[in-house]
Amino acid sequence: MFRPSSRIIRQPFPLPPMVIVPRRAAHIPSVFLLDNYIPRYKLLTDAQISRKKEQAIEHLRKCNICPRMCNVNRLAGETGYCMHLISVKNHVFREPTVAEAFFSQNHEISHQRAGFDLSPEELADWFVKLQKLGNVHNINAVTPEHVVPQVALAILAAIPMGLRIPIVYNTSSYDSLEALSLMDGLVDIYLADFKLSSPLSSKRLLKADDYPKTAKEGIKIMQRQVGDLKFNFDGIAQTGLLVRHLVMPTYVEEGKEIMRYLAEHVSKDTYIHVMEQYRPTAHVGKINRGKSGGMRYSEINRPVTDPEVDAVKLAAREAGLWRFVEDSPYDGFR
């Protein structure tokens, strides 16, 4: 993600010998370009680091890191609605998640509980190992809503180990305000899903009727923390917010409403990824057990169509959004 293109662009004015301009950065407006970005966690004082550690431990002692507010003592091994696992792969984290999507595209992880346990210190060591690979531009925490205190402790432990690349918080947007407060100053880039806009459909598909309200509040907070998405001169994202919406059959109007909300209440400069890769998986299309029978989630038991995706993209543009993950007319950043 966010890799620079190998192509270059010739300038209409003379340049010093051997100076080239990456094509992608050449077509990113200058207001969204940064030079020599320093990750936010590198700017924390010793006192702030100590306070973050204390807050993380308190959240584990009485868990309130997602809106379900189980308040279990995870230091004593208690588990609430979610589990306590962290699984490590190339992206560092995966589900299980606290907003259970029964159409999940990561079904083998989110529902079959793949992965293994790590301590925050062991996770910090993974951060630094990944950084040492040399071609890693950030640490991508994928759906970490259920392990926010452990993630925070791992980032804080990795600072004296030499961590120096941006932290990406890759979330379903089912985060408590307490969790986002803890991550403030630790996260550089928020990759936030905005799945559905109505409580009724969220209750059916995510088992969380408060998801729309939570996502709206959370995404606004994320934007206030890190601002709009910005890049370095190689076209690699450094800081800011990117919002993703997976277009699903039957729920196109909700996608349109989400685009309007982002434009009106977050920022018209929000970077948007309208995703079209939905396919039926996980529990979708299975037969209900019991007397009633019938197909589960039949309304989404088909791939999304091009017109459905185009309708959401059109609604985004009509609302005033203009920064999209898509083919550039200049063959630049995608």
Asked if 193 and 262 sit in the same domain, the reply is yes
Query: Would the CA dihedral through 88, 91, 93, 97 be positive or negative?
Result: negative
Asked if 193 and 74 sit in the same domain, the reply is no
Query: What CATH number corresponds to the domain at position 256?
Result: 3.20.20.70
**Separation CA 107–CA 70 (nearest Å):** 24
Is residue 213 situated within a structural domain? yes
Tell me: pLDDT of 59 over 60: yes
Question: Sorting pLDDT into bands at 50, 70 and 90, what band is 158?
Answer: very high
Looking at every residue in the chain, the average pLDDT score rounds to: 83
Asked if 96 and 214 sit in the same domain, the reply is no
Q: In the prediction, which pLDDT does 79 show? A: 81
Q: Give the best-scoring range by mean pLDDT among 1-10, 223-232, 294-303, 320-329.
A: 223-232
Q: In the prediction, which pLDDT does 89 show? A: 37
Is residue 116 situated within a structural domain? yes
Tell me: pLDDT of 22 over 60: no
What's the gap between Cα 239 and its chain centre?
13
Q: In the prediction, which pLDDT does 290 show? A: 60
Q: Helix H segments across 4-139?
A: 23-26, 46-61, 107-110, 120-132
DSSP conformation class of 138: -
Q: What is the DSSP string of 267-328?
A: -TT-EEEEE------TTTTPBPPSSS--BTTGGG-SPPPHHHHHHHHHHHHHHT--EESS--
Is residue 287 situated within a structural domain? no
Q: In the prediction, which pLDDT does 135 show? A: 87
**Full domain range(s) for residue 303:** 188-278+293-334
* Lowest-confidence region among 128-132, 192-196, 266-270, 281-285: 281-285
**Separation CA 114–CA 119 (nearest Å):** 17
The total domain count for the chain is 2
Nearest in space to 251 (alpha carbons), one of 222, 224, 211: 211
**Separation CA 159–CA 279 (nearest Å):** 40
CA dihedral 23, 29, 31, 33 (to 10 degrees): -20
DSSP conformation class of 115: -
Asked if 201 and 242 sit in the same domain, the reply is yes
Q: Cα dist. 229→135, 170, 220, 331 in Å?
A: 21, 14, 14, 20
Asked if 203 and 107 sit in the same domain, the reply is no
Q: Output 235 or 16, whichever has higher pLDDT.
A: 235
Helical (H) or strand (E) element with 260: helix 252-261
Asked if 68 and 197 sit in the same domain, the reply is no
Is residue 29 situated within a structural domain? no
Asked if 235 and 109 sit in the same domain, the reply is no
pLDDT tens string 173-210 = 999 999 999 999 999 999 999 999 999 999 999 999 99
**Separation CA 207–CA 76 (nearest Å):** 27
Question: Sorting pLDDT into bands at 50, 70 and 90, what band is 332?
Answer: very low
Asked if 200 and 321 sit in the same domain, the reply is yes
Do 312 and 245 contact (CB within 8 A), yes or no? yes
Asked if 326 and 247 sit in the same domain, the reply is yes
Tell me: pLDDT of 328 over 70: no
Asked if 123 and 64 sit in the same domain, the reply is yes
Question: Sorting pLDDT into bands at 50, 70 and 90, what band is 282?
Answer: low
Q: Output 144 or 166, whichever has higher pLDDT.
A: 166
Is residue 332 situated within a structural domain? yes
Is residue 197 situated within a structural domain? yes
Q: In the prediction, which pLDDT does 293 show? A: 61
Is residue 19 situated within a structural domain? no
Nearest in space to 224 (alpha carbons), one of 241, 207, 199, 203: 241
Nearest in space to 192 (alpha carbons), one of 255, 143, 265: 143
Asked if 333 and 198 sit in the same domain, the reply is yes
Tokens 């990456």, residue? 22
What is the mean predicted confidence (pLDDT) over 309-314? 98
**DSSP 3-state helix, strand, coil percentages of the chain (rounded to 5)?**
35, 10, 50
**Separation CA 11–CA 63 (nearest Å):** 56
What is the mean predicted confidence (pLDDT) over 98-121? 58
Q: Cα dist. 94→71, 90, 169 in Å?
A: 23, 10, 11
Asked if 259 and 308 sit in the same domain, the reply is yes
Q: In the prediction, which pLDDT does 43 show? A: 98
pLDDT > 90 in the chain, percent: 60
Q: Give the best-scoring range by mean pLDDT among 8-17, 28-37, 83-92, 180-189.
A: 180-189
Is residue 326 situated within a structural domain? yes
Do 57 and 157 contact (CB within 8 A), yes or no? no
